[in-house]
Structure 1
Amino acid sequence: MSVRAEPASLRERKKQRTHAALVDAAVRLFRARGYDATTVEEIAAAVEVSPRTFFRYFDGKEEVALAPFVEFDRLLVDALADRPAAERPLPALRAAYETSLTHLAGDRGVLDRFLTAHFLTGQTPALLAGRLRRQADTERLLAAEIARRCGTGDDDVRPHLLVQLVFAAARVGFETGCRRGVLDQPEKLAASVVHALDLATAGLTRHWGEPWA
């Protein structure tokens, strides 16, 4: 059994490398040439694979362009699920977001891909719409996890409100950091997001109380 397991592991690592290479090539070409002017064939050629191989990894240009956001959102959902069961929703969600930020800031390649995707969505309405659709899915997953922790039903607005408040604050903090020119200083960029989260959630403990904040 152990002899068979290793080739599968090697294949998986190769798939991960190809996936990352396609994302890197795509965001680089999108930044240089523009999203609309770049073709799937050009992205595949940059990685020396066929367009058919590209479509084994991604449905099209939108999916590969938004892949850095998908990675971040997946990290966030997993980080929240990993928080202690007894932890209150706001601290758990804050900690999960900060864990995801630490991952983002700790890998220059991951951060560059994310920043490029952020730039592209600001320049391309179709990508912005796709990003918002995917973010809405992520928000629902996070709200469902928070509702599960608190034992509330689907009709309780607080899990959804909490998630959207944190997302809005994080976005403002991120954009503020970008305007301050700290893109080459990941720690300061992360600090800008955390500061915005502090400001946005400061009153929740007083207004919502236990077991939320």
Structure 2
Amino acid sequence: METATSVVETAAGPGLRERKKRRTRDALLRSALELFAVQGYEGTTVDEIADAVDVSQRTFFRYFANKEETVFAVAEMAEEHFVRTLRARPPGEAPLEALRRAALESWDTIGETVGSVVPVDVLMRTCQLIESTPVLFAAHLRRSMELEERVARLIAEREGLDAATDPRPRVAVALFGGVLRATERLWSTGEDLSVAAIRRLTTEHLDAVAPALTGGWREHAR
């Protein structure tokens, strides 16, 4: 017969186990990203990541399918944060304005999203790592296309449109995504890898979209 204590332990057990699993996963993730920043992606092995946390390789593979999954785990958190922020934008905002404001607000609050798992500076170094590592950059482009499709459907939903028949949501999101990718590439080659730096570049590039699309680029002789 179960005692009151055993019932409490049974009820509390899964919660404790889940917290322990979460701590192990987060520790492996931090270990991986910090080692990548120092040794490079290709120069770091799964064994080294596991050893840094004092667990086995088998334990690593309980949480991550491979090294690539650790790289994009925090990036996925940032992407989900952007989608939530976009979904919360006022319905009356024009699509590109909603995208712009959601992007900037996401950078403003990124620490609240990833800070419990990794420091923000580790996220920023990981972003640079992705941009500078061909195999990761290829995966990033594939993931970006998947995210753009998701965002295009969200924009269509906000505007009461059918994304299958109306091209405007995908066109707007493709333009927006292209601007962000250009911003990321420029940012990743600079000396300032802070959130403030990428936010500033993002603002400048997004603010340049409308004039670039509607105006001439040549300076007219006076």
Q: Are positions 1:50 and 2:56 aligned together? A: yes
Greater CA deviation, 143-152 or 18-27? 18-27
Q: Are positions 1:194 and 2:200 aligned together? A: no
Query: Structure 1 residue 7: deviation in Å?
Result: 5.5
Distance change >3 Å, CA 62–CA 177, structure 1 → 2: closer
Is this contact kept in 1: 2:148–2:174, CA < 8 A?
Answer: yes
Scaled by the length of structure 1, the TM-score of the pair is 0.79
Q: Give deviations 1:46-103, integer Å, cap 9, x for gaps.
A: 1222223222221111111122321211111111122233433222212211121112
Distance change >3 Å, CA 178–CA 36, structure 1 → 2: closer
- Matched residue, 1:96: 102
Write the distance in 1 (CA, Å) between the matches of 2:90 and 2:18.
30
Is this contact kept in 1: 2:71–2:126, CA < 8 A?
Answer: yes
Distance change >3 Å, CA 15–CA 152, structure 1 → 2: same
Q: Are positions 1:162 and 2:167 aligned together? A: no
Q: Give, as a single letter, the amino acid of the residue that structure 2 aligns with 1:163.
A: V
Identity %: 37
Q: Are positions 1:183 and 2:189 aligned together? A: no
Q: Give, as a single letter, the amino acid of the residue that structure 1 aligns with 2:132.
A: Q
Write the distance in 1 (CA, Å) between the matches of 2:130 and 2:108.
22
Q: Give, as a single letter, the amino acid of the residue that structure 2 aligns with 1:31.
A: A
- Residue-pair matches, total: 205
Is this contact kept in 2: 1:104–1:110, CA < 8 A?
Answer: no
Please state whether the residue corresponding to 1:66 is helix, strand or coil. Answer: helix
Is this contact kept in 1: 2:86–2:99, CA < 8 A?
Answer: yes
Scaled by the length of structure 2, the TM-score of the pair is 0.77
- 1:24-103 equivalence runs, <5 A: 24-103=30-109
Write the distance in 2 (CA, Å) between the matches of 1:9 and 1:195.
46
- Matched residue, 2:122: 113
RMSD of aligned alpha carbons? 3.1
Greater CA deviation, 50-59 or 127-136? 50-59
Query: Structure 1 residue 124: deviation in Å?
Result: 2.2
Q: Give, as a single letter, the amino acid of the residue that structure 2 aligns with 1:87.
A: E
Of 20, 26, 49, 2:26 maps to 20
Is this contact kept in 2: 1:170–1:194, CA < 8 A?
Answer: no
- Matched residue, 1:138: 147
Write the distance in 2 (CA, Å) between the matches of 1:167 and 1:3.
49
- Matched residue, 2:219: none
Structure showing greater radius of gyration is 2
Write the distance in 2 (CA, Å) between the matches of 1:45 and 1:101.
33
